[in-house]
Amino acid sequence: MTCPQCGREVADGSRFCFCGHNLAVATSRPPEGVGGWLLFFCVQLVILAPGFVLMNVLTTAALISKVGAMTPIGVCLSVDSIARLLIAGAGVYIGSLLWRGQRTGVTLIRPYLIAFPALHLLLACLPFVFPFARDIQVALKLHW
Ligand SMILES: [Zn+2]
């Protein structure tokens, strides 16, 4: 079984977790699963979002191979792809915690939901930070 306090695996029938949480209280209550909009949210975090990011990264990888990874555009696109993968990875981790009804997931989802749009806004500004926005337009035209 899993401790609802710290999320660690504890032997079935244990009265106390390593963290000191009284499991006798927790086991008297049936484990809560997630459903409704929260389940959809978890599916979105764990399956849909990473799927889209993966497709996006594969498309970007093709573009990077075309413009060259060591060019400024290539570096910019690589940083963007890696950041998106990390954000999606954090989403998968937090989403799976939430899905299993773990308290850590509830704690982590708040900063994630604040960081998510902020990071994407930063990534959207990335091409404008570097003085080669026009080169990217040329590269995109080449790609599309
Ligand atoms: Zn514990």
Residue among 115, 131, 118, 141 at smallest CA distance from 76: 131
If you average pLDDT over residues 47-52, what whole number do you get? 93
pLDDT reading at 118 higher than 70: yes
Half-sphere exposure of 127 (CA within 13 A, CB side): 14
Residue-wise pLDDT for 6-24, tens only, equals 988 888 888 888 898 888 7
Going from the Cα of 92 to the center of ligand 1, the distance in angstroms, rounded, reads: 22
If you average pLDDT over residues 67-88, what whole number do you get? 87
CB count in 10 Å sphere of residue 67: 20
Q: Which of 45-49, 113-117, 118-122, 123-127 has the lowest mean pLDDT?
A: 123-127
What residue ranges do the domains of the chain occupy?
A: 1-31, 32-143
Going from the Cα of 87 to the center of ligand 1, the distance in angstroms, rounded, reads: 27
> Is 22 strand, coil or helix?
strand
Single-letter amino acid code for the residue at 119: L
User: Can you read off the two tokens belonging to residue 81?
Assistant: 């792809």
If you average pLDDT over residues 61-80, what whole number do you get? 85
pLDDT for 35 equals 72
Going from the Cα of 75 to the center of ligand 1, the distance in angstroms, rounded, reads: 43
In angstroms, the CA 115 to CA 123 distance is 12
Q: Are 136 and 127 in contact (CB under 8 A)?
A: yes
If you average pLDDT over residues 115-135, what whole number do you get? 76
In angstroms, the CA 111 to CA 27 distance is 30
Provide the percentage of residues in the chain whose pLDDT is more than 70: 81
Going from the Cα of 11 to the center of ligand 1, the distance in angstroms, rounded, reads: 11
When pLDDT is cut at 50, 70 and 90, the band that residue 28 belongs to is: very low
pLDDT for 32 equals 58
pLDDT reading at 108 higher than 50: yes
Going from the Cα of 43 to the center of ligand 1, the distance in angstroms, rounded, reads: 26
How far, CA to CA in Å, does 26 sit from each of 6, 11, 18, 80, 125?
12, 14, 15, 43, 47
pLDDT for 23 equals 81
pLDDT reading at 43 higher than 60: yes
Going from the Cα of 67 to the center of ligand 1, the distance in angstroms, rounded, reads: 51
Q: How many residues does the chain have?
A: 144
